[in-house]
Chain A
Amino acid sequence: GAVVSQHPSRVICKSGTSVKIECRSLDFQATTMFWYRQFPKQSLMLMATSNEGSKATYEQGVEKDKFLINHASLTLSTLTVTSAHPEDSSFYICSAVGVQGPKKLFFGSGTQLSVL
């Protein structure tokens, strides 16, 4: 079936560096991609929604200059955590939805970001 690939699965970086996370829909065109953040033992919190070819819509409290989202094609969205700090350490998950809507909605496997 359809798969959403998220890469890397785990990244450790130094404070102040930038980290890019990729989310790819492998066998369908994702008209919309979502980025979530999950702290340990907590639920998923939506960070932003991105539609192909347009600017991402960020949730309240999410810094758009810190969490850069690019959705340049129907199969790829990227989340860049700029100037990462230890408080940015979290599990980041993307999801992609095709034109069929919730019948075709899939999640990536997540990225564990640890900022030292």
Chain B
Amino acid sequence: AQSVTQLDSQVPVFEEAPVELRCNYSSSVSVYLFWYVQYPNQGLQLLLKYLSGSTLVKGINGFEAEFNKSQTSFHLRKPSVHISDTAEYFCAVSTSDTGRRALTFGSGTRLQVQP
């Protein structure tokens, strides 16, 4: 079985500052990694995903993440955040390349961008 750990439940940051949201995973097999954003009372929006290839993945809204196999990490970064980035962020992992296995989610990180 796989698991996902998001160590930071909340990350306060000032507007235009850089931010890193940490994600570590555990799995005995190859994984596919995802970051989702959830705004209040809404569903999930995919920020980016790593399936194969380059370990540096660029997503929407200026976010990027780097897959580090040796450290089993997939940290999310943004060089300069905006107030509108305030939301809940979920890291998720899948071990199936057919998609027939559900994603396993981390506990989430609340990003709070302050003016």
Q: Which of B18-26, B43-51, B65-73, B76-84 forms contacts with chain A?
A: B43-51
In the complex, residue of chain B having the shortest beta-carbon distance to the beta carbon of A101: B99
- With a cutoff of 8 Å between Cβ atoms, the chain A residues found around residue B102 in the complex are 34, 36, 46, 49, 95
Size of the chain A interface, CB-CB below 8 angstroms: 28
Quick check: B41 and A112 within 8 Å, CB to CB?
yes
Name the residue of chain B whose CB is nearest to the CB of A34.
B102
B91 and chain A: residue at smallest CB distance: A43
Residues from chain B with Cβ under 8 Å of A104 in the complex: 99
Partner of B51, one of A102, A109, A110, A112: A102
**How far does the alpha carbon of A51 sit from the alpha carbon of B101 in the complex, in Å?**
11
Chain A residues within CB distance 8 Å of chain B: 6, 31-32, 34, 36, 42-44, 46, 49, 51, 91, 93, 95, 97-98, 100-110, 112
